[in-house]
C-alpha cells in the first residue's frame, strides 16, 4: 500500500481483517476477506475507490486520488487474462 507515493504497509490476503487507514485526517477502510482486498468506505468526495471492485490478482490496484492512497496486490494470483480491450 502506498500513501502519497511512499510505502505505508502491507496486509496478507490470506488473513481476513478490516483496516482503517488514516491520511492527514481522512480515513479509508480496507477489508480483506476470502483472499480479496476491497475498499469498503472512504471519506473522499467522489467515492470512486469504494465503487471499484474487490481485487486479488497480481498488480491489480484500488486508487483513492483525493486521499493519495494506492492499494496494489503483490504476490497474488496471476490473472489468466493477458489484456482487456473494449
**Per-position pLDDT tens, the chain of length 86:** 889 889 988 999 999 999 999 989 999 999 999 999 999 999 999 999 999 999 999 999 999 999 999 999 987 666 554 544 44
Nearest to 49 by CA among 32, 34, 68: 68
For 32, the domain range is: 2-72
* Domain assignment of residue 31, yes or no: yes
Asked if residue 51 lies in contact with residue 61, where contact means CB atoms within 8 angstroms, the answer is: no
CA–CA distance, 49 with 52 (Å, rounded to integer): 5
Residue 66 covered by a domain:
yes
Q: Which helix (H) or strand (E) holds 79?
A: none
Q: Is the dihedral of CA 17, 11, 29, 19 positive or negative?
A: positive
Residue 84 lies in a domain: no
- pLDDT given for residue 77 in this prediction: 63
Task: Decide if 34 is inside a domain.
Answer: yes
CATH code at position 30: 2.60.320.10
Cβ atoms of 63 and 49 within 8 Å: the answer is: yes
Query: How many domains does the chain divide into?
Result: 1
Amino acid at each position: 500500500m502506498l500513501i502519497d507515493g511512499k510505502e505505508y504497509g502491507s496486509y496478507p490476503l490470506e488473513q481476513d481483517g478490516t483496516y482503517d487507514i488514516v491520511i492527514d485526517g481522512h480515513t479509508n477502510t480496507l477489508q480483506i476477506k476470502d483472499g480479496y482486498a476491497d475498499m469498503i468506505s472512504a471519506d473522499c468526495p467522489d467515492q470512486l475507490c469504494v465503487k471499484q471492485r474487490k481485487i486479488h490478482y497480481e498488480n491489480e490496484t484500488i486508487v483513492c486520488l483525493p486521499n493519495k492512497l494506492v492499494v496494489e496486490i503483490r504476490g497474488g494470483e496471476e490473472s489468466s487474462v493477458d489484456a482487456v480491450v473494449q
